[in-house]
Amino acid sequence: MRMKGFNILGHTFVILLMIMKGIKPDTQKEELLEHCTKLKVSVDLPIFLSSVKKTFGNMREQLSKAHFATAYETDVFGMAQCRNYLSTAECLACFDAGVSQLRRKCHAAVVSAHFIYQGCFLRYGIHNFYKEVTFVSSVWVCSYNRSVAEPSAFSPKVQGLLADISAATPKIKKYFATAKRQVFSSGKTPTVYAVAQCVETISPSDCTRCLTRTYANLKTCLPQPGGSAAEAGCFLRYSDSSFFVDSNLTDITPYTRGGSSSTKLPIIGIVGGVCFLFLLIAWLLWYQLVKKPKVAKRGELLQVTKLQGTVIYSFKDLKSATKSFSQEYKIGEGGFGDVYKGITNNGDIVAVKKHALTSNKSKEDFESEVKLISNVHHRNVIRLLGCSGKGSELLLVFEYMANGSLDKFLYGEKQGTLTWKQRVDIILGIARGLAYLHEEFHFRIIHRDIKPSNILLDDGFQPKIADFGLARFTREDQSHRISTRYAGTMGYTAPEYAIHGHLTEKVDTYSFGIVVLEIISGLRCTDVKIEPVNGSLLEHAWHLYEDDKHLDLVDEKLDPNEYDGEYVKRIIYLALMCTQMPASRRPAMSEVVVLLTSGLLFEQRPLSMPTLG
């Protein structure tokens, strides 16, 4: 077997080996993925390890009665799944082997792990991953130990089988299917076998999306005799050797319109269907919010997928989840409402933002935030799960970010703990999120208040742009420039907007440049105590640039061995380029992403001293 196309953040490595003699003649315990991650979060280690042990024990007990299990103990989420063709004894043996490997290869302080085998997988972590569908990058393996006869005939048959089973599985209860298909009428390698499976906590549409991706990856193995592909939410495999008995075959014919699909039809049909469903849901969302709100059932705050839009939740449930909005659960505050951690009855963790309708302006801010981001889905933009209201109090429910806001890591209580790599990844993530808002969403969204306190970090330190209370949008066919009343935060606001009210997406670009300087230096943009800049980080950075002393800007808490001086200069230059006047001299955020990721030297455009906002 050979690994292709996998690169998960964190300490990740893949070992393809036999970990013990097989459950079946085929190696159900063949390991496809080993992923252990130690995150920089504060946990009480004895309590954490006890929770991990209880989570594993709970899952094993569930697997003695079923092939899928989820469990939650204090701060630890767990999930395990076996292929349904395994017996209970085989399922437990695969799970036990995984737990044994995990304990042997993952350090005790690891706070998340994901092990995948041909016959099962197990996973645990401190965040709720039950709805996750895909990895950052995919994992798939192919068999190269021998060749098949007549590959030109073998490949189309396998593609047809994989397409059919991928299309059928999301429609089948518990998302599991096996199938086989005759390849040749006689002789050489007459039959190919396949299995498809999704985790039971995702929606049918997400199962479809997941299998579509694994199908596309697995096709690259052909014409090899076998291959397996996995994502966070699904598994797909084929082989010209049987790895399950015929009594475990699934009749997928009723779910494939009675026959074989072409190799292209499933992909086109699935993508087209999802696009149509997205448009339909967008209309239903408007109807739901404006005409006919619905209340989520108690204990089901996270039972909503990306394609289901925003849900109106029970105010009572949210109040209970936040312990009546207690100070103990308060995790943030700002001009547009306080934010509380919420823990539901079934262990889901959410962030609840509380608005008080004290004026028409506060109502407008609330409505703006709901309308703008209810259908925004990008890994670097915070996801709105739902909303609720009672009297003058309105609530927004967001995905929970374990590491809080960026400002705490730059000049707050966690100052100096970010590594250089983490800082670069955060800069790139913010750039990607802004590029999506400005150029890839069907409306151009201008945030207007990009600053570290509005950048949240998940448990992997991936940034997510948050707080859209000030955001505005334009259609693609409208002018990029509009005039509006100033709203934002001094120090981060572009001069043309702060002084004249001229608003374009380049206002966010200016703010991004300021935030980049803060990330590099660990300094707040308005409190630099260095003469003669009088409190301006931007002016300080400019003087260092002019004197070719860029590296003097770098946070002194960083180890110089962590970063390359020339690359630091490039990023500082890029930050200054984002703050140029007039706004037309600033790059588009999509260009910023290219400059950050290309690895190539870019043309050094002449810069002028930036104007302070």
Active-site residue identified among 317, 365, 449, 459: 449
Question: Tokens in use for 572?
Answer: 């500082």
CB-based burial, 433-465: b 16+ in 10 Å, e otherwise: bbbbbbeebebbbbbbbbbbbbbbbbbbbbbbb
- Can you list the alpha helix ranges (DSSP code H) found in 249-306? 265-290
E strand residue ranges, 423-462: 444-446, 455-457
Per DSSP, the three-state class of 260 is: coil
Q: Distance of CA 613 to CAs 31, 435, 508, Å?
A: 55, 22, 12
Q: Distance of CA 147 to CAs 153, 225, 251, 353, Å?
A: 13, 7, 29, 58
Contacts of residue 597, Cβ cutoff 8 Å, sequence gap at least 6: 428
The DSSP H or E segment spanning 180 is: strand 176-182
User: Distance between CA atoms of 7 and 11, rounded to whole angstroms?
Assistant: 10
User: Distance between CA atoms of 425 and 433, rounded to whole angstroms?
Assistant: 12
Measuring CA to CA, which residue among 366, 389, 399 is closest to residue 316?
Answer: 389
Q: Report the chain's C-alpha Rg in angstroms.
A: 26
CB-based burial, 15-48: b 16+ in 10 Å, e otherwise: eeeebeebbbebbbbbbbbbbbbebeeeeeeeeb
CA torsion angle 534 540 544 546 (round to 10): -80
User: Distance between CA atoms of 8 and 104, rounded to whole angstroms?
Assistant: 20
Output the 3-class SS for 410-428.
HHCCCCCCCCHHHHHHHHH
Beta pairing partners, 329: none
- Are 579 and 536 spatial neighbours (Cβ–Cβ below 8 Å)? no
Per DSSP, the three-state class of 66 is: coil
Is 559 tagged catalytic?
no
Contacts of residue 283, Cβ cutoff 8 Å, sequence gap at least 6: none
User: Distance between CA atoms of 351 and 397, rounded to whole angstroms?
Assistant: 6
Question: Tokens in use for 334?
Answer: 């700002």
Residue 177, classified by CB atoms within 10 Å of its CB into exposed (0-12), middle (13-18) or buried (19+), is buried
Measuring CA to CA, which residue among 304, 305, 329 is closest to residue 319?
Answer: 329
Cis peptide before 293 (omega within 30 of 0): no
| Number of Cβ atoms within 10 Å of the Cβ of 535 | 15
Residue reference for tokens 């899952």 = 59
Q: At what angle do helices 265-290 and 204-218 cross, to 10 degrees?
A: 150
Measuring CA to CA, which residue among 417, 427, 362, 392 is closest to residue 575?
Answer: 427
Contacts of residue 132, Cβ cutoff 8 Å, sequence gap at least 6: 232, 233
What are the catalytic residues? 449
